[in-house]
């Protein structure tokens, strides 16, 4: 039955992770998948998560199915985290949230929902975007196109070109925006630019779909929501796909949320009913553990304080690695200016390394970065590997 099948190409990001695992070089460096590493190169379980798990194990009395849309308190808490507990989107009933298996799960449910209920709508992604974005929407038979984003040098936002391409998107189409810490470039619009983006999206009656996977990894939990709140201002409809893999370090627990923001509560409930149908015919209902952890932490003042502190530590370490990378590259390759890396935010940066250089990094130095744009996961750089990494980059340059 399967003899006629060719082998599918490995995934552009997770395939590298597999290749890294199989690399016997003890000095190998993995800057491919977006996973945080501490200074010792470990991906830790946050202390607030450990404590929440301890409490959960004590009180858990059943492993029966959750509702199709997940834990009831989870949606309210994540909306509060994104918009603030008093914001009209959190309190008015015109927004509904479904707990999903990761941000990717949220995107796929959104894609199924769009194809079934807004058939024919094209999804417009930034050029470049996360390599999995177009694949998720195409897998659900949603047409995908791109709008301009980075400048010709690949180090900053070409805002004029971005606005110009947003102006040309037909009314009713979906525009996929990265709420903060743009993946793969680390280049975000300024607060003033977000205002202008929101104005175009509203005036042209586009449906914004905000992928919000890195809240707290840019400047702070509060500052990182400026763009999202601008896009979802009073009266606007929107879809938000949020992830808690990175900011809670819950990668393997698969915790995300799909939030549908409608004009009013009735429309929101109708939208929810259709999104639930998409879930039921896909994975039926979500897993409990990860979302129970997020719920426990966000609902408890002490655990939440601890979480915010641990999140700030992760963010500060990444930002200090950005600075150190720029400094170290000055010596490793004096002819190349990497100062743009220090200005970017989140886990990723486009290094500008060519596919050939990326290939040499892997084959000659066991350094793994994503081929497209030479995307590096800055969160994988540590005091122990930075010298070797920069020397290797200097050599391939």
Residues involved in catalysis: 130, 211, 246
CA distance 391 to 186: 23
- Which residue lies nearer to ligand LMR by CB, 131 or 200? 131
- Which residue lies nearer to ligand LMR by CB, 68 or 321? 321
Site string for ligand LMR, 158-197 (x = CB under 6 A): -------------------------x--------------
Size of the site for ligand LMR (CB under 6 A): 6
CA distance 214 to 234: 24
- Shortest spacing between CB 228 and ligand LMR, in angstroms: 18
According to CB under 6 A, which residues from 70 to 89 bind ligand LMR?
Answer: none
Q: Residues 115, 123: contact at Cβ < 8 Å?
A: no
- Shortest spacing between CB 248 and ligand LMR, in angstroms: 14
Assess 126 for contact with ligand LMR (CB under 6 A).
Answer: no
- Which residue lies nearer to ligand LMR by CB, 30 or 165? 30
CA distance 205 to 218: 29
- Which residue lies nearer to ligand LMR by CB, 210 or 272? 210
Pairing of strands 95-100, 144-148: unpaired
> What is the CB neighbour count within 10 angstroms for residue 372?
16
- Shortest spacing between CB 183 and ligand LMR, in angstroms: 5
Q: Which one of residues 13, 48, 318, 369 is an interface residue with ligand LMR (CB under 6 A)?
A: 13
- Which residue in the shown chain puts its C-beta closest to ligand LMR? 34
Cβ neighbors of 198 (< 8 A, separation 6 or more) are 230, 231, 233, 236
Assess 130 for contact with ligand LMR (CB under 6 A).
Answer: yes
Query: Is the previous residue joined to 128 through a cis bond, with omega within 30 degrees of 0?
Result: yes
CA distance 163 to 148: 8
- Shortest spacing between CB 273 and ligand LMR, in angstroms: 29
- Shortest spacing between CB 394 and ligand LMR, in angstroms: 25
- Which residue lies nearer to ligand LMR by CB, 82 or 369? 369
Residue 352 burial by Cβ neighbours in a 10 Å radius (0-12, 13-18, 19+): middle
CA distance 365 to 227: 39
Site string for ligand LMR, 15-34 (x = CB under 6 A): ------------------xx
CA distance 245 to 318: 16
- Binding residues for ligand LMR, per CB under 6 A? 13, 33-34, 130, 132, 183
């Amino acid at each position: 039955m399967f003899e006629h099948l060719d082998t599918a190409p490995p995934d552009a990001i997770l395939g590298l992770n597999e290749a890294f695992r199989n690399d016997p070089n003890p000095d190998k460096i993995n800057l491919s998948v977006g996973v945080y590493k501490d200074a010792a190169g470990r991906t830790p379980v946050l202390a607030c998560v450990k404590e929440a798990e301890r409490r959960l194990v004590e009180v858990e009395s059943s492993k029966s199915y959750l509702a199709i849309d997940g834990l009831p308190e989870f949606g309210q808490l994540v909306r509060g985290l994104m918009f603030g507990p008093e914001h009209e989107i959190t309190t008015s009933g015109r927004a509904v949230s479904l707990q999903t298996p990761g941000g990717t799960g949220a995107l796929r449910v959104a894609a199924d929902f769009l194809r079934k209920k807004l058939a024919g709508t094209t999804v417009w992604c930034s050029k470049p975007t996360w390599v999995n974005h177009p694949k998720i929407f195409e897998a659900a038979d949603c047409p995908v196109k791109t709008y301009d984003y980075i400048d010709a040098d690949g180090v900053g936002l070409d805002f004029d070109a971005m606005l110009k391409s947003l102006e040309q998107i037909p009314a009713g189409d979906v525009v996929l925006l990265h709420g903060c810490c743009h993946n793969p470039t680390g280049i975000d619009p300024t607060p003033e630019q977000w205002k202008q983006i929101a104005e175009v999206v509203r005036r042209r009656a586009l449906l914004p779909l905000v992928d919000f996977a890195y809240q707290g990894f840019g400047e702070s939990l509060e500052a990182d929501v400026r763009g999202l709140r601008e896009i979802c201002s009073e009266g606007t409809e929107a879809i938000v796909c949020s992830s808690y893999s990175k900011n809670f370090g819950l990668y393997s627990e698969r915790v995300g949320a799909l939030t549908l923001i409608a004009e009013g509560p009735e429309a929101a409930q109708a939208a929810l009913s259709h999104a639930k149908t998409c879930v039921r015919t896909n994975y039926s209902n979500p897993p409990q553990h990860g979302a129970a952890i997020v719920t426990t932490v966000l609902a408890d003042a002490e655990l939440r304080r601890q979480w915010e502190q641990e999140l700030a530590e992760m963010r500060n370490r990444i930002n200090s690695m950005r600075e150190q990378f720029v400094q170290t590259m000055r010596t490793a390759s004096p002819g190349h200016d990497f100062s743009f890396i220090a200005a970017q935010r989140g886990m990723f940066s486009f290094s500008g390394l060519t596919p050939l250089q990326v290939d040499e990094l892997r084959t000659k130095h066991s350094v793994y970065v994503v081929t497209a744009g030479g995307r590096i996961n800055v969160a994988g750089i540590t005091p122990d590997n930075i010298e070797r990494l920069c020397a290797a980059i200097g050599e391939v340059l």
